[in-house]
A and B are shown apart, each in its own frame.
Chain A
Amino acid sequence: MKQTRIVITGIGLTAPNGNSLPEFRRNLLNGVSGITAVDVRFMGRHPAGMCTFDPLKYQKKKDVRIGTRAGGISIYCAREALADAGVNLEARDRSRVGIYLGITEHGNVETENEVYNISQFKYDTKFWTHHHNPRTVANNPAGEVSLNLGITGPAYTIGAACAAGNMGLIHAAQMLRLGEIDFALGGGVSESPQTFGIFAGFKSQNALAAHADPTKASRPFDKARNGIVISEGGCIYTLERLEDALARGARIHGEIAGYHVNSDATDYVLPNPERQAECVRKAIAHAGMTIEDIDLVNTHATSTPQGDIQECQAIAEVFKARSAPPHINNTKSFIGHAMGAAGALELAGNLPSFEDGVVHPTINVDELDPQCDIPGLVINHPKSGAKIDVILNNSFGMLGINSTLIIKRFAA
């Protein structure tokens, strides 16, 4: 079946090492990590990825006070994406605009803050804020964007653990193809470092990164990797049907070529490389491509001892029949795990490869784990002179959800 073509026309982001795509890309090519040590409530200092965008660029102080960090990140990214796309929503029918944001979780931060707040008042719940419910409803980040921009179309989040960033784009493409909307803001967002519970949960699972130098803490594929660095961030794309984008003379960053989403159905936490490989294969098939067409694979690998090996196994299995492997890299080595934003941010960091022909490396690999030593890995130094026409982006999450998204260079 011939599908309506969907293209990316704008990108807005904030990452621990960049508040715009040019800044983010520059730091990815120059090996600049965005990870710092932060104080985590009850837990002391831990490496984490924090963003430095100005929340007052697009919000009033009062809106920042009432809203959530995830909402503020989302508003910043959405506004930046619209500016990049050259779109003025006031001139459009805003009931035909959809907002779809992937989240790993939402509400932990706000709930923890309130529990801490009432702990200062002997746990008397009369000190519990009335803002708690609007802050913690799962649609909060998307809803705050709708309020900020006066968008009256559908605005909601997609809970898909750490596969969610891809899901925001996939869902946006699906809604555009269904004709439910005419213009989409799709991507992912994370405020996770503000909650100690996620740090404590990973620590209890022996999956929280620790390193004397926070910039070295996130080190996928390195033999000394010891866990996840938790990060905040956001990345939102404007997506349009190709005919609409061409009609307004939009700059096109790339085209949605194909995708697939599946579930392991095997474990709450542990990944399943067989299902991951199946997800990648089905996404390639959905794109009408073969393994020979993939030029760059951006891995999900989170710097955990077991997860990185399993993804490498999955990728090696899928591409084993190729004579020359695709380039393979990892963005979390720079920015940590931006949870719901991860897939969307990591894709954005690689899209400029279409233009500059450079593959950003996976940094912090001092000693490559032999079990992660698969053909095509780009390690520690960027690889120039690469002809990149197709990028495959993996994002996997707890409860065994897998998402693979394939973006190709736009060609009329």
Chain B
Amino acid sequence: MADGVLAPAVLGGVVLLVLAVLWWAARGRRAFGTVEERATYAALHEASLAAPPLREGLNARSAATSARHLRALLASPAVAVTDTEQLLAWEGVGEVHARAAQRLAREALDAGRPTVTDGLVCGDPDCPLRAVVVAPLVLDERVVGTVGAYGPAASPGLVSAVAEVARWVSGQLELAELDESRSRLAEAQVRALRAQISPHFVFNALTAIASFVRTDPERARELLLDFADYTRYSSRTHGDFTTLAEELRSVDRYLLLEKARFGERLQVVLRVAPEVLPVAVPYLCLQPLVENAVQHGLERGGGSGTVTVVADDDGGLCRITVEDDGAGSDPERVRAVLAGTASDVDGHTSVGLGNVDARLRALYGDDHGLVVETAPGAGTKVTVRVPKFSAGVRVGGPAS
């Protein structure tokens, strides 16, 4: 009985699986109607394949990967990619010509425009490489390298094709530079954040500690050491990632100092699932949120307030929420801060919020930006969702 039911069920499952795989594989390859459409598709497809490596910038690895697709795009027997100093990649037949590639590229590098060289010779009478068209790669009016197409003859069509391809590659390299400057900007922002221990906080913390020096010297000493640890962590210079445990420890020190100042008026609830403590998180991704929560929830709330920090385990993700029961703010205002079009919420500077949001999005994708739930008079809850694993993210390591 059991076998009779199970056999068709398993077979059906296997057939479904195979169909699903076939569908998935065939998804991207719908047939086109006309020859032109197919040619356009083929060219654009090759270009799109060559683009991702080029977005890393011009180096031996990106050149090697993209040269394969550039060669298909140009339909020539061999393609050479050079920078200003040396040959980066040779793709195609006639490897002997690779040695001369840099010399042949020299002219285009110097002239800054496409050059044609005929009558290449080599020992092999059947070698199809008799001519080469080299076009320079220009970035901000600077020549950074060349693309050369080798073939039996340098037809005018090939010359213009190589020139266009070189221009397209230059465009990709410009985008690469844009990416790089964007990440440099993010780095600069983190550095700014590090240097951004508010003078008010320093002043208030020291005053609070001073008030304990006579009444409770032991506590004053502890608070001073906490203060030292806090500043040391916040101005640390190496590593873009840290563990959640480290980040929470610093948050805890900060809250301890604020508690010393506000006493019973500040209530803190810290609820942490131990499973997520080893998760790698961007350095200083929580601290600005907690500082915000204390400022918003308490200083402007007048009386007292509670700050709740919860970190829990959510499958492949770690979910952290920072919540205050203070005045809250206008959601539109928060949206503007996160979008970078405003730098303060109701007159309160919140550089931290926008910065954390931007860094999370840059690292993990748009699904992982800050989620802020707030309304005037209803407190604020900020949620961060950090994946437990993300390629290139490593505690103590630099951002990829």
A binds B: no
